[in-house]
Structure 1
Amino acid sequence: MIKRNRAAALPQALAIALLAAAGAPAMAQDAPQAAPGDAGAKDLDKIVVPGEIIYRDRTDAIAPTLSYDLEYFQRFEPLTVGDMLKRVPSVAFVSDVLEYDGARLRGLDPGYTQILINGKKVPGAGDDRSFFVDRIPAELVERIEIVRSPSANRSGDAVAGALNIVLRDAYEFDGKYLRAGGLRFDDGETKGTFGAVAGGEVGGGRLLGGVNVQGRYNPKRKRSDRFEEPGGAFTDREDQSDTRDGTDSSANLSYTRDIGTGRLTLDGFFVRTERTETEHSLEYNHPSSTSRDHLLSVNDQREDIEQDNWAFGAGYEFDMAGGRTELDLDYARFDDNTVTTEEETGFDDEDTPPSFDGFEGTRTLTDVRDKEFSVKLAHKREVGTAQMEFGVDYNDKKRATVLRVSEVQAEDEGDPLPPYAEFERASSGIDERRLDPYLMFSGRGGNLAWEAGLRYETTDADISADGVKRSNEYSELLPSAHLRWDLSDANRINFSLGRTVRRPNFNYLLPLTLEEEYGDNDFVGNPLLDPETAWGVDFGFERRLGRQGVVGINVFYRDVRDLIEIVNTGAPSATALGDFEDEVEEFLDENPGADPSTPGFPEFDPDSFVYTAANVGDGHVYGIEFDFSTPLTALGMPDTGVFVNYSWLDSKVDDAFGERRFNGQAHYVYNVGFIQDLPSVGMAFGASYRRQGDAFDRLLAEEVTTRYGADLEVFVEKRFGDRFSIRLTGSNLLDLAKDEAFNKFDNAADQLERDFDEYELEREKSGPVYQLIARYAF
């Protein structure tokens, strides 16, 4: 079925791509790149009211890098970086409908993708070390870079690759503009959005500042049907409304000034997310009835979320000792304060109608503080015909988490819940210190450009949880090499080889035992985990099409070693011990005075255990990536722009249950779109269509298959002169749905034997969103 979907999805788009690639004339050379010392900045009014369609940039970097300016995305009015990334090659998401938070480059778990802001690491919310890209508003961004393969002068945490979010800086932009508008959702709710950016000369340097406030809202509808097993008897159904309502506020500031032989750069950003997530669920023992006679439970859940992301950096690059030296100091912090309250009224359906069976509530207070301080010292100089760069990166990461949980219940039907007063407290902390020296050489000669380097990453970690402290240290040598061969002015080949790492998830490191974390099985953390490592190869071909177009194809492979998987310690779980104690107690009640030598005395034969994380096994990831963007000049349509990207993704992992792909990896992801400019009337319109393949996750005691529908977006734009524009955008016009199938088991033995605890089918939907946005440059 997957192959048929792929074959049917893109025939027309690919035909256009091949026709244009064959017929479009080649540029004599790449578009000129601005040198660091060049004066002049991009006028912001040309961004507000674009005079032409913007395509993917062809970079001059030796490492394989795809670059997309904000103007490439802007006509579809993305709200966040997540909205932007869903239009670039190989980025998939396995999130709720209309939520684009954890970017999965090449379909891999977000922890395999390195997220950088201005080329620097930033802390995030995820226990897998991921950064939620929907926390950064699109209006702060200058461009998005996809760096497919590592270099020695960047952190090696990039098995899948790196996504570099480059914020607007003072050196690049000049002018002022305002952005204002509103969004309307399918339930009638409206939200406003406002932004302002200004840049220019101040105090002998250049200053740029921006602010952005935007309403966020996502009303979703869910339905879950549960069965004893696939094709088995119906057990119950759950109807749920899930609404996310909030505001994102952000600001960024950049100042650049030339001092002596060097350039001083100061930059910072702040993003605050204030959001309320409310869920209301009704559970029935009938597949369609909403009668009180079939009601099993009423559940209300509310999350009040306040998250702050902020960072500040200072850098000075100057001439020294016959070369160029760079010193960077950076501090970044992520704060998360979340209050989660879940209250449920249960009913016993052994009575008709079901009788009251309890009213209980749980309140969880989550406080996370994640901060990073880093220093970079680097020196570049010419050595013969090559350039040498050497340096050292220091990073100190501290992450502290405090959980407080209170559980209450009402005594009788109709009674209110008691106050949430007594809280059980659990705390944990992780302090990782890294010192990473590197050496890199690069050069250009004739049609060849090359780069080769070594990076040595050392990690010293202290881990604590509720008074238990552990330490661990490890180091990895990470070679990398790149070769770019310009076959002609239009055609080039890239080849890259490199070794990368993925550090363990935070929750896998903590020396805590979590009861019934996987079905009836418990889990205990392992603070002595080593990182996963991977050798990777990328081989790509790229062709310039005319003055603006680019077509490229890339093949990649990753050989991942020391995979972190969940393994059995052999120790019985708390559930198994409790079940055995109950069995013994029942036997003694029936046989007073019995002992273990008594015939029929229960024997301890646990079927659930304590599991932990360990470095076991290997994995392989591979795929083909195609991207194409060009005006159809060769077909006589210079004001028509076509955009296509398609990635076929696959992998192989052997776990305790057999062979599978990496968890959550979609089989494919593609985007097809066009923009039609109408210069004579100052208008433009366009559409974008996106689809990604099925994803499968297999964990202990649970297996999940996830399917998404298609996403269609359209826009129409009217320009008034060269300073004012209005744009109407419609997104999710096909009512995108997410369908999940859950195979649930009590333990590993049942999972192997396919003895189901429950089989669940869940569908989640959300309706169209319309934006009306006005921009004015002055």
Structure 2
Amino acid sequence: MTYGVRIALLLWIGAAAPLPAAGQEGAGGQAATYDKHFFDRTQPSNAYEMVALLPGFTLVEGDGDVRGYSGAAGNVLIDGQRPAGKTDTLGAILKRIPAARVARIELIRAGSASHDMQGYALLANVVLAKAGTISGRIEAEQALYRHGRRGPRFSAQATVDGHGRVLDLFGTVYREIDDEHGFGVRNRFASDGAPLRLARYAQPEGADIAQATLAYRQPLFGGTLRLNGLVQDKRKFADIAYAVTFPAPDAITGSEREHARTWEGGLRYERALGAANDLELVGSYRSVATVGIDRETSASESSLSDERANASEAILRAALRHHRGDWAIEIGAEGAINILDSRNALIEDGDPVLLPQANVRVAEHRAEFFATASRPLDARLTAELGIRYEMSRLSQTGDIDLVKSLAFWKPRARLIWTPTPNQTLRLLVEREVGQLDFGDFVGAASLTSGTISAGNADLEPDSLWRIEATYERRFGAGSFTLAARREWISDLVDQLPVVADGTVYDAVGNIGAARRDIVEASLKWPLDGIGAKGVVVTADLVARRGRATDPSTGERRPISGDLPVEARIALTHDIPAWKLRWGGSFAFARTETAFKVEEVEADRLAGRLDLFVEYRPDARWTFRLFGKNLTDSPATRTRDIYAGVRGDSALRYRELRVLRSGRYVGLTVQRSFGG
């Protein structure tokens, strides 16, 4: 029997496993409900692990860096609503919710009349059980790294629930270590392979973070009001050291420090307007102040880079949802004001160096209007149509004065076919428009790489048309999902040369049309059907192939920053009789390439293995021992540096940097209290 036939047979056996009674499909396949009993055999410790077990569902965090609210929202609701804030990720919020607090999770499919899908085909709604008057959890963690580094963490969360008014408080202080940096070599070689410079190199990186959040909920005027606030202090650090051994001994030291302070507040109000309408109002404000100081010193020279930025965002959004009969209609509008004030400076050997467009203030006033309508065409077929219109006005002052106005239509059409209760096919056609990164308007220097980039005031957002087909097959408590999409991109934002004062700089800009093909596959496979009780295997794969015309060489090449392959496989094994849970995951090697004006930079992270074992002697205590990067995998950066613009210049040298952070282990202790 061939290997492929064996895999097909095992999948068929797994598919024959009956669906647990805890997972109930709603009418028309629009929703499924998974109560606490569905998760009993897997013993998840928090809502994040529970969401990861939902058949056919993959968590999308959203992007907190996206301006406005629409593009930043993820695909998980908590008690029917998304968090109003943007700094805290969905993953972090879900990990703070103990599994005992989750009453059930609803898997909502596109076409629902009661929820803002935000363009997603699936939403997970985590419905919380009523807590006791006071409940919460305390967590302590210590991770031990190579070279004596430590990663301590202390967190505390408390919920006060009284007469419909719920207050959630959370605070944490911790140090995170970047395990993609560490200790190794950084060597340079000529085009014929001869060594030009050999050096031992160290670049350990991390961040010290303190954060406090508050969330409050209460009934108000027949609806529900939610308030949230966040304060975060984040101090990144990197200590850099070269020990050059060839061609002559030399020592270079450096440091990178960045201090970011974030304040955020938000509100969300929902109210039913009669039997067929729901109103939702969202408002938020966020401010981030950042100071970054980089230094590099050798026996003969010194450099200092000083980057300071203040960014703010104010958002107001209103949506009205109408549901009558088979129709679900949503209309709404969103407005946002975003401001970035950035000041960058470079000093070499005590003298300032001119940075193109280093002092810039960017302000954006943006509005978006949207409408979505969906209805079942028959018992198995649902159609959804949507349209968004976005307009914005960008103004730049400082080293350059420029005002531009932008406007875009963004239509979307989705067709959902459910030929059988356990199979779904989704077809999607949509247009998307990207957002400009305000940081790309500002010139900056990197001492670590020895490069200067220019700001580009003439940037336009890229846009694309996407067509996508997704097949979802559910079997028992497992699922297999396969998606294929093609994207036709206009005005691709990538790297291009910019000339300032007669000097060619690398900058972010529009390089023309491009195309991207993506295939995604996801498997969630409980092995109970083949005798491995309590074992769940998950696997995820994303393959991309993009093609664009390089502005430096005129040749076709991949899109900068695209990962050709991302793949991960994980296994968990729950043994309730022993109050034990263990598992591990392996992330396959991945490579990211950036095609700059005078260099090509490729970052490769080798495959990594993580393992854990978790013991819960009772409902209140949890002990988790973990080991990460057990393969001691290297992070390799290869830079091909040219004498001038690529395509017109010869290769000056190749730089090879190989860093290892080492294996590390840790222990997490959690203690729950209250009801």
Q: How does 1:154-193 map to 2 (within 5 A)?
A: 175-193=135-153
Give the counterpart of 1:196 among 148, 152, 156.
156
Change in Cα spacing, 1:465 to 1:698, as seen in structure 2 (3 Å) is: same
d(CA) in 1 for partners of 2:513, 2:18: 46
**SS of alignment partner, residue 504 of structure 1:** coil
Q: Quick one: distance in 2 between partners of 1:633 and 1:436? A: 48
Q: State how 1:568-583 maps to structure 2 within 5 Å.
A: 574=502
Count of aligned pairs between the two proteins: 638
Tell me the equivalent position of 2:414: 482
Choose from 368, 371, 385 the match for 1:452.
385
CA deviation string 1:103-158 (max 9, x = no partner)? 99xxxx99xx954477579788xxxxxx9x799687447999999999997889xx
Whether the aligned pair in 1 keeps the contact of 2:423 and 2:472 (CA below 8 Å) is: yes
In structure 1, C-alpha distance between the alignment counterparts of 2:123 and 2:264, rounded to whole Å? 15
Quote how far apart the aligned CAs of 1:643 are.
Answer: 1.1
What is the CA–CA distance in structure 2 between the aligned matches of 1:541 and 1:310, rounded to whole Å? 42
One-letter code aligned to 2:621: F
Quickly say closer, same or farther: Cα 1:121–1:275, change in 2 above 3 A: same
Is 1:370 paired with 2:311?
yes
- Any idea what the Cα deviations from partners look like across 1:742-778, whole Å, max 9, x if unmatched? 1111222xx3256111111221111111111111222
1:71 pairs with 30, 46, 49, which one?
49
The 2-side partners of 1:536 and 1:506 are apart by 25
- Deviation per residue, 1:181-220 (Å, 9 max, x gap): 2111122333321112222413532222222222223571
3-state SS, counterpart of residue 531 of structure 1: coil
What SS does structure 1 have at the residue aligned with 2:536?
strand
User: For 1:406 and 1:390, how far apart are their aligned partners in 2?
Assistant: 52
State the alpha-carbon separation in 2 of the partners of residues 718 and 257 from structure 1: 36
Q: Which residue of 1 aligns with 2:626?
A: 729
Name the structure 1 match of 2:258: 305
Superposed, 1:606-685 pairs within 5 Å as: 609=504, 614-656=509-551, 657=553, 658-685=555-582
When residues 181 and 565 of structure 1 are mapped into structure 2, their CA distance, relative to the original with a 3 A threshold, is closer
Query: What is the match of residue 560 of structure 1?
Result: 489
How far off is 1:508 after superposition? 3.8
Partners of 2:283 and 2:316 within 8 A in 1: yes
- Is 1:255 aligned to residue 188 of structure 2? no
Q: How far apart in 1 are the matches of 2:177 and 2:255? A: 15
Equivalent position SS for 1:487: strand
In 2 relative to 1, CA 392–209 (structure 1 residues): closer, same or farther, beyond 3 Å?
A: same
Please give the per-residue CA displacement for 1:80-125, whole angstroms capped at 9, x wherever unaligned.
Answer: xxxxxxx97999xxxxxxxxx9999xxxx99xx954477579788x
Contact 2:344 2:444 survives alignment (8 Å): no
Task: Tell me the secondary structure at the aligned position of residue 757 of structure 1.
Answer: strand
- Partner Cα separation in structure 2 for residue 660 and residue 619 of structure 1: 10
Q: CA deviation at 1:305?
A: 2.4
1:77-96 equivalences in 2 (<5 Å): none
Shift of 1:307: 1.5
CA contact (8 A) 2:231 2:263 kept: yes
Give the equivalent residue in structure 1 for 2:102. none
Q: Which amino acid aligns with 1:622?
A: D
Tell me what 1:25 maps to. Answer: 18
Name the structure 2 match of 1:285: 246
> In structure 1, how many angstroms separate the alpha carbons of the residues matched to 2:95 and 2:446?
44
> Structure 1 residues 404 and 736 mapped into 2: Cα distance closer, same or farther (>3 Å)?
same
Distance in 1 (CA, whole Å) between partners of 2:148 and 2:271 is 56
Q: Describe the shift of the 1:616–1:774 C-alpha distance in structure 2 as closer, same or farther (beyond 3 A).
A: closer
**Residue 709 (structure 1) shift:** 1.1
Partner of 1:417: none
Is 1:275 paired with 2:236? yes
CA contact 2:159–2:166 (8 Å) conserved in 1: yes
Q: What is aligned with 1:688?
A: 585
1:243 is the counterpart of 2:204:
yes
Q: Return the alpha-carbon distance in structure 1 between the equivalents of residues 471 and 340 of structure 2.
A: 42
1:228 aligns with 2:190: yes
- Aligned equivalents of 2:529 and 2:91: distance in 1? 40
- Structure 1 residue corresponding to 2:404, chosen from 468, 472, 475: 472
Measure, in 2, the Cα distance between the counterparts of 1:454 and 1:513.
Answer: 38
- Where in structure 2 are the equivalents of 1:300-699 lying within 5 Å? 300-320=253-273, 323-345=277-299, 358=300, 360-382=301-323, 385-408=326-349, 426-444=358-376, 445-466=378-399, 468-510=400-442, 525-546=455-476, 548-567=477-496, 574=502, 609=504, 614-656=509-551, 657=553, 658-699=555-596
Does the C-alpha gap of structure 1 residues 20 and 244 become closer, same or farther in structure 2, counting only changes over 3 Å?
farther
Query: SS state of the match for residue 664, structure 1?
Result: coil
Equivalents in 1 of 2:108, 2:308: separation in Å?
33
Which one-letter code corresponds to 1:735 in the other structure?
Answer: D
Tell me the SS of whatever aligns to 2:643. Answer: coil
> Which structure is higher in RCO with an 8 Å CA cutoff and minimum separation 6?
1
Shift of 1:453: 0.9
Structure 1: distance between partners of 2:91 and 2:372: 34
- The one-letter amino acid paired with 2:550 is D
For 1:727 and 1:735, the matched residues in 2 are separated by 21
Residue number in structure 2 paired with 1:412? none
Cross-structure match for 2:30: none
Distance in 1, Cα, partners of 2:284 & 2:578 = 48
Q: What letter corresponds to residue 18 of structure 1 in structure 2?
A: L
Aligned AA (2:394)? A
Pair 453,666 (structure 1): closer, same or farther in 2 beyond 3 Å: same
Kindly indicate whether the alpha-carbon contact (under 8 Å) linking 1:693 and 1:707 is maintained by their aligned counterparts in 2.
yes
Change (3 A) 1:738 1:672: same
Matching residue's letter, 1:201: D
In 2, the alpha carbon distance for the partners of 1:13 and 1:736 equals 31
CA contact (8 A) 1:433 1:460 kept: yes
- Cα distance in 2 for partners of 1:664, 1:402 equals 26
- In 2, Cα distance between equivalents of 1:164 and 1:340: 43
Does the residue aligned with 1:71 lie in a helix, a strand or coil?
helix
Structure 1 pair 723–20 and aligned structure 2 pair: CA distance change class (3 A): farther
SS at match of 2:177: strand
The superposition leaves residues 201-259 of structure 1 with CA deviations (integer Å, 9 ceiling, x where unpaired) of 13532222222222223571131221121x33211112111223542222222222222
Counterpart secondary structure, 1:191: coil
Aligned 8 A contact 1:519 1:701 in 2: no
User: SS at 2:534's partner residue?
Assistant: strand
> What is the identity, as a one-letter code, of the residue corresponding to 1:455?
R
Give the conservation status (yes or no) of the 8 Å contact 2:140–2:153. yes
1:687-746 CA deviation, whole Å, 9 max, x = no partner? 111113333322211012332211101111221122212110000000121122211112
Q: How far did 1:71 drift? A: 1.9
- Equivalent pair of 1:518/1:701 in contact (CA under 8 Å): no
Provide TM-score, normalisation by structure 1. Answer: 0.72
Q: Distance in 2 between matches of 1:727 and 1:517?
A: 37
Name the SS for the 1:187 alignment partner.
helix
**Structure 2 vs 1, CA of residues 610 and 627 (structure 1 numbering), >3 Å: closer, same or farther?**
closer
The sequence identity of aligned pairs, in percent, is 18
Compute the RMSD of aligned alpha carbons: 4.5
Alignment match, 1:415: none
**1:13-52 aligned within 5 A:** 18-26=11-19, 30-31=23-24, 51-52=40-41
**Cα–Cα, structure 1 residues 90 and 320, in superposed 2: closer, same or farther, change >3 Å?**
closer
Task: Specify the code of the residue in structure 2 equivalent to 1:479.
Answer: P
**Cα distance in 2 between the residues matched to 1:634 and 1:237:** 56
Q: SS where residue 637 of structure 1 aligns?
A: coil
Residue type of the alignment partner of 2:154:
F
